[in-house]
């Protein structure tokens, strides 16, 4: 079966075609770099995404600090990941790179702060 | 009497363009500079763009907006480049005097060169003239983004989005992750105005439908938004009677385009280009007012911050040369385009300096060729499998190929 989708690895957004049989990828075309091929295979076998959101901050110059994951997690775990991150409350100051959850839902990826928030 | 501060270069705006220009100027030996920033912190719009995907070109990794901004803030701070925050520039005069309102009163700065780096603003409901009531619950995408990502305020529960600009699609995903129900994105054009990857990862991933050739034709509700009426449009983007459909919602997000923020530029006498809505600049990013330069989204709206940083650095190279020599080479050749190209940056060149030519195509094109020529002589050709209005095209032009007597012609041929 021919599957078609847009690569999200970079803003170029290549239109990928992948020939798939029983969950196995036989051939990928339309990609302009090796990451496109990797993405196509991953998208068919086990789609992964990164997410960005915020955590609440106590005593900060802003009420929120933005966070992201250190790497993509299975797409099916996105909403559960959001639930976990929503429970977090940090105390200012926090700085870019601080880890707020390690090994999120057993994915091996961590939740890290992406914005330095000073104490008020 | 107020004292007038004198500087070599004043930079208006501490977002990605202003920060990159400042760091580059400093590294070129121009250290007598100041950045004036309206907000409490530098970083500009990146502060609220918490999603990732920034820096792939620049740093070869994918960063969130605040992280990308922080790298440049750190570079500015390491160099002890002064920035004054909480300060709004009120006026720039053609002889480069700047008046700004700060906590300590009015600041007066005389600069040898001024860098315009004010970024852009969003088109609003008024700009696209949607009729109907005026209830609360109608936001531009960037305003909704700042409420959610900076101030911890949720904007609504049942959401309709008008316009498929990148920020609108990114907000569709963001609102979904925060528990809202995004019913659909409607786009008046027959194609998405944002990047294809955002259609994929922000809409498709969350089963949010994108309806092309549709627009909002009525807004319902007295106090709070209660619904919107959506119609299909014809090939002239006119609503087709009889196609109206009502969507019950409490929130309408508008992502209908960005406009370079040029009120101060106009006040300084800078000539704007009606196509890009930014200044007319030459290969040095100098406007038609000597000593006033512009780069980043104030000049033309970019899709990637990486290219804003690069443009601001090229500008800084030219500004450094201007400060050192007191003038720059005159640019009297025009860059002309055919109707398939909306605009170019720069609009004027000397024919004696290499430069980066930026442009956008007017509508999606397949297997097209961008041809750059001078007096019928082809200077450069580049093939594109696809060219989209959402994707800026940049082509470096080598000075050795140019002559200094004929205008440059840019065309897109299918």
A117 close contact with B: CB closer than 8 A: no
Show Cβ contacts of residue B267 under 8 Å, excluding neighbours closer than 6 positions.
B91, B92
B345: closest CA among B411, B301, B390?
A: B301
Collect the ranges in chain A with pLDDT lower than 70.
none
Q: What is the mean pLDDT of residues B202-224?
A: 97
Write the ipTM. 0.93
Whole-number average pLDDT of chain B = 96
CATH topology of domain B124-256: FAD/NAD(P)-binding domain (3.50.50)
User: Where in chain A are all domains bearing CATH 3.10.530.10?
Assistant: 52-113
The token pair that represents B174 in the structure block: 């963001």
Shortest distance, CA A26 to any CA of chain B (angstroms) = 23
B295 falls in which pLDDT band (50, 70, 90)? Answer: very high
Option in A61, A64, A68 nearest B149 (CB): A64
DSSP B45: G
For B86-134, what is each residue's pLDDT tens digit? 999 999 999 999 999 998 899 999 999 999 999 999 999 888 888 888 9
Which of B67, B152, B200 faces A56 most closely, judged by CB atoms?
A: B152
Which pLDDT tens digit goes with each residue over B7-60?
999 999 999 999 999 999 999 999 999 999 999 999 999 999 999 999 999 999
- For an interface test with A, give the residue of B39, B59, B74, B152 to mutate (most A CBs within 10 A): B152
Chain A hits for B150, CB-CB cut-off 8 Å, are 62, 64
Model confidence band, residue B2 (pLDDT cutoffs 50, 70, 90): low
Q: Does the fold of domain B331-414 match that of domain B1-122+257-328?
A: no
pLDDT in tens, B131-169: 888 999 999 999 999 999 999 999 999 999 999 999 999
Which residues 5-24 of chain A have a CB within 8 Å of chain B?
Answer: 5-8, 10-11, 13, 15
Q: What number is the average pLDDT over the span B340-350?
A: 97
| CATH 3.10.20.30 applies to domain B1-122+257-328 | no
Of A53, A62, A116, the CB nearest to B150: A62
What whole-number percentage of chain B has pLDDT above 90? 93
SS (HEC) of chain A: CEEEEECCCCCCCCEEEEEEECCEEEEEECCCCHHHHHHHHHHHHCCEECCEEEEEEECECCCEEEEEECCCEEHHHHHHHHHHHHCCEEECCECCCCEEECCHHHCCCCEEECCCECEC
Rounded distance, CA B339 to CA B362, Å? Answer: 8
- The reply to whether residue A8 touches residue B201, judged by beta carbons under 8 angstroms, is yes
pLDDT, average across residues B272-296: 97
Confidence of residue B280 (pLDDT cuts 50, 70, 90): very high
CATH 3.10.530.10 fits A52-113, yes or no: yes
According to the model, what pLDDT value does residue A22 have? 83
Give chain A positions within 8 Å (CB) of B51.
Answer: 52
Cβ neighbours around B71 below 10 Å, total: 18
Percent of chain B with pLDDT over 70: 100
pLDDT at B126: 84
Residue B49 · residue B39 · CB < 8 Å: no
Determine the distance in angstroms separating the CA of B177 from the nearest CA of chain A, rounded to an integer.
Answer: 7
Mutation target for A interface from B50, B200, B387: give the one with most A CBs within 10 A.
Answer: B50
Residue B84 has pLDDT above 60, yes or no: yes
- Is a pLDDT exceeding 60 seen at residue B1? no
> Cβ contact (<8 Å) for B50 and A62?
no
pLDDT of residue A10: 85
- According to the CATH classification, is domain B331-414 in 2.60.40? yes
| A92 near B CB under 8 A | no
Q: Closest chain B residue to A86 measured between Cα atoms?
A: B178
Which chain B positions have a beta carbon within 8 Å of A64's beta carbon? 149-152
Contacts of B52 in chain A (CB under 8 A): 50, 52, 68
Dihedral sign for Cα atoms in the order B153, B121, B21, B63 = positive
């Amino acid at each position: 079966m021919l599957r078609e989708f847009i690569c999200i690895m970079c803003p170029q957004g290549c239109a990928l075609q992948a020939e798939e049989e029983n969950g196995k990828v036989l051939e990928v075309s339309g990609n302009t770099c090796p990451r496109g091929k990797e993405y196509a295979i991953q998208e068919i076998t086990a789609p992964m995404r990164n997410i960005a959101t915020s955590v609440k901050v106590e005593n900060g110059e802003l009420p929120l600090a933005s966070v992201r994951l250190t790497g993509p997690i299975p797409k099916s775990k996105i909403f559960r990941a959001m639930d976990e991150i929503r429970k977090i409350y940090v105390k200012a100051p926090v700085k870019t790179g601080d880890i707020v959850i390690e090994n999120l839902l057993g994915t091996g990826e961590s939740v890290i702060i992406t914005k330095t928030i000073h104490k008020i | 009497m107020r004292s007038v501060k004198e500087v070599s270069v004043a930079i208006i705006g501490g977002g990605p363009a202003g920060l990159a220009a400042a760091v580059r100027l400093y590294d070129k030996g121009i250290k007598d500079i100041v950045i004036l920033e309206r907000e409490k912190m530098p970083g500009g719009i990146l502060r609220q763009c918490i999603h990732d995907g920034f820096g792939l070109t620049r740093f070869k990794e994918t960063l969130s907006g605040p992280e990308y901004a922080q790298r440049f803030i750190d570079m500015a701070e390491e160099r002890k480049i002064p920035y004054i925050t909480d300060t709004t520039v009120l006026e720039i005069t053609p002889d480069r005097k700047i008046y700004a309102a700060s906590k300590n009163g009015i600041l007066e700065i005389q600069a040898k060169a001024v860098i315009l780096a004010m970024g852009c603003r969003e088109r609003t409901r008024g700009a696209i003239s949607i009729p109907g009531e005026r209830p609360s619950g109608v936001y531009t995408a960037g305003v909704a983004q700042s409420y959610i990502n900076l101030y911890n305020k949720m904007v609504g529960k049942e959401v309709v989005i008008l316009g498929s600009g990148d920020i609108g699609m990114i907000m569709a995903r963001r609102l979904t992750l925060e528990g809202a129900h995004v019913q659909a994105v409607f786009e008046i054009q027959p194609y998405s105005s944002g990047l294809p990857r955002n259609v994929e990862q922000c809409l498709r991933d969350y089963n949010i439908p994108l309806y092309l050739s549709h627009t909002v034709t009525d807004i319902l509700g007295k106090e709070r938004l209660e619904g919107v009426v959506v119609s299909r449009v014809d090939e002239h983007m006119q609503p087709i009677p009889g196609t109206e459909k009502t969507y019950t919602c409490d929130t309408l997000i508008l992502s209908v385009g960005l406009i370079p923020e040029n009120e101060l530029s106009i006040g300084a006498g800078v000539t704007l280009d009606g196509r890009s809505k930014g200044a007319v600049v030459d290969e040095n990013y100098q406007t038609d007012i000597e000593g006033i330069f512009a780069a980043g989204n104030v000049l033309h709206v970019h899709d990637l911050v990486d290219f804003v940083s690069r443009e601001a650095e090229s500008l800084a190279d030219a500004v450094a040369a201007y400060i050192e020599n007191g003038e720059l080479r005159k640019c009297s050749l025009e860059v002309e385009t055919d109707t398939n190209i909306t605009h170019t940056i720069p609009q004027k060149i000397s024919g004696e300096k290499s430069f980066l030519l930026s442009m956008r195509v007017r509508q999606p094109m397949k297997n097209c060729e961008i041809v750059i020529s001078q007096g019928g002589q082809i200077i450069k050709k580049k093939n594109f499998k696809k060219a989209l209005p959402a994707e800026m095209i940049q082509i470096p032009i080598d000075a050795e190929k140019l002559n200094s007597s004929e205008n440059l012609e840019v065309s897109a041929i299918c």
